[in-house]
């Protein structure tokens, strides 16, 4: 994966959020590719918990003291020199030490929210088109769209989602007002600004249609003139009407906006809706890597070690894989995978989650015991049943011998879940591959037999058609290993009745049930459903 150049990343983030220190240069240049980012806090450094993130290219140092930061960067440089570190108010000693090992230091605006910056960086890494790749052009890049729109109509542009979180923006200048600056920093806009915008029904107008909304200047609030337009994704699937997906805001500076700004802004809303739809349907880079590990998408098995290194996961340690089946969940629980990811991350910070159709998979690297895992799985199923009213089934695969075995384990988990869907009573709500193996193999064997009518003894079909009671007695007798008493208890009849029926069966079918091959053949045939 080529990644995004450090300079390109910083340009996308804008001077409102970050600046390169000390003088806008990086020790190893601005073309170094950035593919991943990691958050590191003081506890991670002090307790040595940051090792799992060791393969990241850039790091955000949250609340890490100057001394801790110096020790951390020395230790990190011995393994893999970071491309850059993001720090609020970096000390001169840290800047000098980072430069000595070849790491750029990016100063973060003190008012910026770390989680917002982290989200923006990952958004850029996942969706900011790599201009060297013709398949990743500005048609998939909200940042590129924002800057192109700003250049065309001479304003400062920001694109927000339906929850008013900034997704992308153009470069700012000294004329950016407080509302724009705070929105980019991830801070809530000044209450008086938001109250005024709400009072005038601007948000209602943006959600209601696709017309451009004009917002007048309010000098007493420090609010510059603006244009805004709602972004609406077209109807799709079960969605009968366009869906409000966000807003494009254009703040005017001292230069007038283009005469055709309204027309161009309407076109931008169409493009933004198209990009948002594409991004919503396309998993992030991290999600694709997890899917590759699980064998859910095409990939070269030889790349597993490289993918593990990229994700900061140990490739050779035993792991645990849990597969959840959410079949039957209500449509309102479409984000169930996200809810489960929250639970998994609370249980294990290094948990990796992927979803496909009705299945959600949780990978737990470096797992040596499954007792706590089984407890967490049962607790999660119980909590989601109580809080969301959904019934889940789970299969635990452990131990998995290294990440190279995860794809095969996932295929085995799917076999169990498929079998459980066909025979929900036979397999418990929480089971393991070992516990379910007999049931699954027998189910699959019977399925293969049932798929070819030549493999079902015609005498079984004849007996079922002629006398279903005798067919039921035969299965009970065979399942009871020829014990008439056990079969009678299951059928709730007298043992002599079972013996009489067995003699009738042997006579009708011209066989001896003392023959083990006959018993095996009939036992399998009787397990094939009547309608197959």
- What is the domain-level CATH number for residue 119? 3.40.1390.20
Give me the torsion for CA of 458, 464, 465, 468, rounded to 10°: 170
Could you tell me if residue 405 is inside a domain? yes
Residue 132 is predicted with a pLDDT of 40
Could you tell me if residue 286 is inside a domain? no
Residue 133 is predicted with a pLDDT of 40
DSSP per-residue codes, 396-417:
EEEEE-SGGGHHHHHHHHHHHH
Q: Which residues lie below 8 Å from residue 189, measured CB to CB, with a gap of 6+? A: 179, 182, 183
Based on the fold, state whether residues 149 and 268 are members of the same structural domain.
Answer: yes
Could you tell me if residue 304 is inside a domain? no
For the domain that residue 373 is a member of, what is the CATH number?
3.30.70.270
For the domain that residue 502 is a member of, what is the CATH number?
1.10.10.2840
Count of alpha carbons within 13 Å of 264, Cβ hemisphere only? Answer: 19
In angstroms, the first-to-last Cα distance of the chain is 48
Based on the fold, state whether residues 410 and 373 are members of the same structural domain.
Answer: yes
Count of alpha carbons within 13 Å of 400, Cβ hemisphere only? Answer: 30
Based on the fold, state whether residues 267 and 149 are members of the same structural domain.
Answer: yes
Could you tell me if residue 300 is inside a domain? no
Are the CB atoms for 264 and 258 separated by under 8 Å?
Answer: yes
Note down pLDDT in tens along the chain; length 532 residues.
467 889 888 888 877 788 899 877 788 988 899 988 888 877 767 666 554 445 688 999 988 888 888 988 888 888 789 999 999 999 999 999 999 999 999 999 888 888 778 878 887 887 664 434 433 343 447 888 888 898 889 999 999 888 777 888 888 877 888 888 877 777 655 666 677 777 778 888 898 888 899 988 888 877 899 999 999 987 765 556 788 999 999 999 889 999 989 989 988 998 888 888 877 766 667 778 888 899 988 777 778 888 888 777 888 889 999 999 987 655 444 467 777 887 888 788 788 888 888 899 999 988 877 788 999 999 989 888 887 788 899 999 989 998 999 999 999 999 999 988 887 777 888 998 888 888 888 888 888 888 888 888 888 888 988 889 999 999 999 989 889 999 999 999 999 999 999 999 999 988 899 889 889 989 888 888 876 5
Q: What is the pTM of this model?
A: 0.52
Q: 302-311 contacts: CB < 8 A, separation 24 or more?
A: 304/403, 304/404, 304/406, 305/403, 305/404, 307/403, 308/403, 309/55, 310/1, 310/35, 310/36, 310/55, 311/36, 311/55, 311/286, 311/352
Based on the fold, state whether residues 400 and 421 are members of the same structural domain.
Answer: yes
**Structural domain count of the chain:** 4
Give me the torsion for CA of 200, 204, 208, 211, rounded to 10°: 40
Round the average pLDDT of the chain to a whole number and report it: 83
C-alpha 133 chain-centroid distance: 25
What is the domain extent for residue 472?
A: 456-526
Residue 52 is predicted with a pLDDT of 46
Based on the fold, state whether residues 433 and 321 are members of the same structural domain.
Answer: yes
Could you tell me if residue 262 is inside a domain? yes
Could you tell me if residue 302 is inside a domain? no
Based on the fold, state whether residues 66 and 146 are members of the same structural domain.
Answer: no
Based on the fold, state whether residues 123 and 165 are members of the same structural domain.
Answer: no
Q: Please say which residue of 447, 474, 492 terminates a domain.
A: 447
Based on the fold, state whether residues 340 and 430 are members of the same structural domain.
Answer: yes
Residue 95 is predicted with a pLDDT of 92
Q: Which residues lie below 8 Å from residue 419, measured CB to CB, with a gap of 6+? A: 426, 427, 436, 439, 440, 443, 444
Based on the fold, state whether residues 189 and 158 are members of the same structural domain.
Answer: yes
Based on the fold, state whether residues 77 and 188 are members of the same structural domain.
Answer: no
Based on the fold, state whether residues 338 and 417 are members of the same structural domain.
Answer: yes
Q: Please say which residue of 236, 260, 281 terminates a domain.
A: 281
| Of 297, 290, 156, 280, the residue nearest 228 (C-alpha) | 156
Q: Please say which residue of 281, 302, 323 terminates a domain.
A: 281
C-alpha 193 chain-centroid distance: 35
| Of 237, 116, 225, the residue nearest 179 (C-alpha) | 225
Based on the fold, state whether residues 202 and 147 are members of the same structural domain.
Answer: yes
- Tell me if residue 104 falls in helix, strand or coil: strand
Residue 489 is predicted with a pLDDT of 92
Could you tell me if residue 441 is inside a domain? yes
Could you tell me if residue 369 is inside a domain? yes
């Amino acid at each position: 994966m080529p990644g995004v150049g450090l300079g390109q990343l910083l340009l996308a983030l804008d001077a409102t959020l970050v600046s390169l220190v000390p003088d806008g240069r990086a020790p190893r240049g601005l073309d170094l590719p950035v593919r991943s980012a990691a958050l590191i806090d003081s506890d991670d450094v002090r307790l040595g918990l940051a090792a799992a993130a060791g393969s990241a290219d850039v790091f955000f140092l949250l609340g890490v003291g100057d001394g801790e930061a110096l020790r951390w960067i020395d230790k990190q440089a011995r393994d893999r020199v970071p491309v850059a570190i993001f720090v609020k108010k970096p000390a001169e000693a840290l800047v000098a030490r980072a430069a000595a090992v070849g790491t750029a230091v990016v100063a973060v605006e003190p008012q910026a929210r770390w989680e917002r910056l982290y989200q923006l960086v990952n958004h850029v890494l996942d969706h900011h088109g790599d201009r060297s790749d013709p398949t990743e052009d500005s048609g998939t890049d909200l940042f590129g769209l924002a800057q192109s729109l700003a250049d065309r109509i001479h304003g400062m542009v920001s694109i927000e989602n339906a929850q008013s979180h900034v997704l992308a923006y153009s470069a700012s200048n000294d004329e950016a007002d407080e509302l724009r600056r705070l929105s980019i920093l991830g801070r809530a806009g000044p209450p008086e600004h938001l109250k005024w915008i709400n009072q005038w029904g601007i948000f209602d107008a943006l959600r209601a249609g696709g017309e451009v909304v004009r917002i007048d200047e309010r000098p007493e609030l420090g609010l510059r003139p603006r244009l805004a337009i709602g972004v609406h994704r077209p109807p799709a699937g079960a969605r009968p009407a366009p869906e409000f997906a966000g807003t494009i805001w254009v703040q005017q500076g001292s230069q007038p906006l283009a005469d055709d700004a309204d027309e161009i802004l309407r076109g931008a809303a169409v493009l933004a809706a198209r990009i948002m739809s594409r991004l919503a349907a396309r998993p992030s880079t991290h999600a694709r890597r997890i899917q590759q590990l699980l064998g859910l998408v095409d990939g070269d098995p030889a790349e597993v070690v490289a993918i593990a290194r990229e994700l900061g996961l140990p490739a050779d340690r035993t792991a645990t894989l849990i597969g959840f089946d959410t079949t039957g969940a209500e449509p309102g629980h479409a984000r169930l995978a996200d809810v489960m990811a929250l639970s998994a991350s609370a249980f294990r910070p290094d948990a990796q989650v992927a979803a496909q159709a009705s299945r959600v998979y949780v990978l737990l690297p470096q797992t040596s015991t499954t007792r706590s895992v089984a407890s967490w799985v049962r607790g999660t199923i119980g909590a989601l049943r109580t809080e969301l009213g959904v019934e889940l089934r789970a299969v635990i695969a452990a131990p998995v011998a290294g990440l190279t075995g995860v794809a095969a384990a996932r295929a085995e988990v799917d076999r169990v879940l498929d079998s459980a869907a066909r025979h929900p009573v036979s397999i418990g709500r929480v089971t393991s591959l070992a516990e379910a193996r007999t049931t699954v193999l027998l189910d699959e064997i019977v399925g293969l037999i049932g798929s070819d009518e030549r493999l079902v003894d015609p005498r079984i079909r004849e007996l079922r058609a002629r006398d279903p009671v005798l067919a039921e007695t035969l299965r009970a007798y065979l399942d009871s290993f020829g014990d008439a008493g056990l079969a009678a208890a299951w059928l709730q009849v007298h043992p002599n009745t079972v013996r009489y029926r067995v003699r009738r069966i042997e006579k009708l079918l011209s066989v001896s049930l003392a023959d083990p091959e006959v018993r095996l053949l009939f036992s399998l045939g009787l397990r094939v459903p009547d309608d197959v």
